[in-house]
Amino acid sequence: MPDHKLIGRPARQTPADVVTTPGAPLSLPNDLLQQASRRLEIMALIAAVLWVLGPVFGHLALFVTHPEDPRWAQFGTIDLVAASCVVLSLSLYAYLRSGERDPASVMDLALVYLVANAFSLGIMVHWGAPEAPPADPAPMISWIGPVVLIFAAIVPTSPWKLLVAGFVAVSMDPVGMMLAGAVGDYPHGSLSSALVMHYPSYLLLGVAVVISRVVNRLGQQVRREREMGSYRLGELLGRGGMGEVYRATHRMLARPAAIKLIRPEALAAADGGMAQLAVTRFRREAEAAAKLRSPHTVELYDFGVTEDRTLYLVMEMLEGMDLESLVRQVGPLPAARVIYILRQVCESLAEAHADGLIHRDIKPANIHVGRLGLQHDFVKVLDFGLVKHVADGAGDGAPEHSQATATGLTPGTPAYMAPEMSLGEAVDGRADIYALGCVAYYLLTGKVVFEAETSLQMVAKHLQATPVPPSRRADVDVPPALERLVLACLAKAPADRPGSARELDRLLAEVAIEPWGEEQAKRWWTARDAAGPTPRDAA
């Protein structure tokens, strides 16, 4: 393991270290550009609605103020311009919705869209103006200036690009005024009067450039903050109660990985000492988990703590899905496949328990199944970074359970939590056996062992209620021997459960059933690939 020092400030980068999106002028994170693309999509839809409502309310206002003016019921030049912008806005919306687009190219397209809207606004403001405007045109702020400010705030592009596009956009006011003057619709159509009237828009352009610089610097700061040691963060893969998981790449080896960030607020404590205790426990437990070598335990590459106390774990990238997603997609699994999966989990837990480590949060979402090399239905047990060592006791200076609760680091999910964990009693590997029994029940039935409206009710049922045999709730055949074994895992007293993961593995192997193996697993994954896209990498 490398030296795990605090790394809040990344080392200064050389040009070769900076990875930019093709066509992007600045090295902004790709996911931020994608979010900006979605904002542009929403803005285009809103603009289409406004281009409809604007002329409608204009006609209505003319009717209310000048009912004798026949123009309120006529479709004129302004309405034609508005209709064109509706078509343009809806076309942009449809284009962005139709598929994944290069975010950097979308940002450039947004600037073209800005200029097109500005031209239309310049025409609408001055076309059909009053026949007798003031003799001396007064400075004014049209709609174009605020629109440029909006684009600067939500479209992260380089300041010089915004300056060029923005200058063309705000110049559409003088252009529209001069065009209107050329056709006799606006008496003050000279260049000097146009510039005098619209110089405030050019001032707003300067403000927009400043906003653009701020937005870009914030984006670059996000990118720099995402540099975790030797790894560079990429797109967000998922978000949970304690933090987020990002795709990552090793800066030198280009090795794909996944980084789990545990947010500082998840470590909120009554005082700084408790927060420091949480960091100390995290470091100790991550070091212990990193020693696990079972092929069915997700490999932990690295870990660390940033200066803002964000904890991070660097793990291997996996191809496939977790068991919760699998059951949601395909329903309950055949008993033979359930046994095949559970035995691999047992192998992972057996090594951990032999080293005195208890997972304490075994659940379908923490068990990944997929492909590894040429193997299919290959299981990886996740979240071994926050395990508990059975020898910890109260070694940190206070009862372990109360400390973990105070710092927000207590693992466990009520639907899969062993009774002794809920009671705060001493736990050993048999707590993981209970949780694995709950997982087996879920895989066979597609339902959790006990259903409840609140977590407290769920805990109470695990303490007191007797589970319904899975065969009564399953849509698949459950061999009696497998059912007895699952119910044994769900015994309230740890002594009534299988004594170890190795014993459970042996008992699963003894269930008389046609086995599920690599051949069946390969056919299943091949058929799934033929039916749809390859499962997304997950961690």
Q: Largest Cα–Cα distance of the chain, in whole Å?
A: 99
User: Quick check: helix, strand or coil at residue 258?
Assistant: strand
Sign of the C-alpha dihedral computed for residues 336, 338, 341 and 343 taken in this order: negative
361 is catalytic: yes
Q: Is 383 exposed, middle or buried (0-12, 13-18, 19+ CB in 10 A)?
A: buried
Please state the φ and ψ torsions of residue 262, each to the nearest 5 degrees: -100, 115
Contacts of residue 90, defined as CB under 8 A and 6 or more positions apart, other chains included, come to 44, 45, 48
Tokens of 505: 């593995």
Round to whole Å and give the CA distance between 27 and 29: 7
Q: Where are the beta strands (DSSP E) in 180-317?
A: 227-228, 231-239, 243-250, 256-262, 300-305, 311-316
- Marked catalytic residue, from 361, 383, 432, 505: 361
Contacts of residue 415, defined as CB under 8 A and 6 or more positions apart, other chains included, come to 363, 438, 448, 449, 450, 458
Residues facing residue 305 across a β-bridge: 311
Round to whole Å and give the CA distance between 101 and 95: 9
Whether 333 contacts 261, CB under 8 Å: no
Contacts of residue 50, defined as CB under 8 A and 6 or more positions apart, other chains included, come to none
The position carrying tokens 């051949």 is 519
Put the strands of the sheet holding 243-250 in their side by side order: 227-228, 231-239, 243-250, 256-262, 311-316, 300-305
Tokens of 300: 């932990």
- Nearest CA-CA partner of 119 in 176, 200, 185, 78: 176
Round to whole Å and give the CA distance between 242 and 236: 14
Catalytic residues: 361
